[in-house]
Structure 1
């Protein structure tokens, strides 16, 4: 197969062992199928409250989950961008494509706000900015690896999290 950009619904059906008509029945078209793939790979951020570990461990786990999500999603998103028709349809879809990332941003912002109020994160930290920095840094780390660059040239996930904590390694 020559990548997702050239992927046919006929090939998907063949590999899945189903009739091609079932692809159209369940997804409508190739574009909707690819949307479903991206949605299926969106990380479940579940409850961000402490799971018994430290705040630092929880934030490291969150960033690791985000980075893994981006690593899985980048090949699909790259293929969509490489296909003019899919890219056009994605642009026309506008905000619907932003729902999952915005939802993640909102949930992380709420979590960080609560941690700032509790004094476990750096005082004066803007929670939405910090949430966007964590999301963006997780994406950037995944993108570097996807592009074949060593992740070591970027700050580690621990370094990213420690920048938010009042004292590195505490909380």
Structure 2
């Protein structure tokens, strides 16, 4: 996890939302090489072949019946990274990320990277408060070991 955090810290001068308004794909492009250097497979584009499919449901003969896409996944398949830009809070994309990671086969940790600033809103703080409430209330138990929230 620290290696992933270091990737974001080392790219901060290129992706900081206080300076730039990049899309999530553009941010992911800056992070591609650093993440690949620490063993992550990173989405290369929006075509079906370029996406990273993480299994969710298996059918006959162990064939994958359902999968969800991830922006990046660790070599062992236990860590999934989702990089969000404008839709993180406005469209509740972070909730969809949590749901999908919870359904993904063998995924233990989710890393959600969100903008610190988006149209005058602090998306990081809003999601942080939500996650803190989720964990402190102890009313919902997720099938993943943890969620790391990164603000950029």
TM-score (norm 2): 0.29
Q: Which has the higher strand share?
A: 2
Q: Which has the larger radius of gyration?
A: 1
Specify which structure has the higher proportion of helix.
Answer: 1
TM-score by length of 1: 0.26
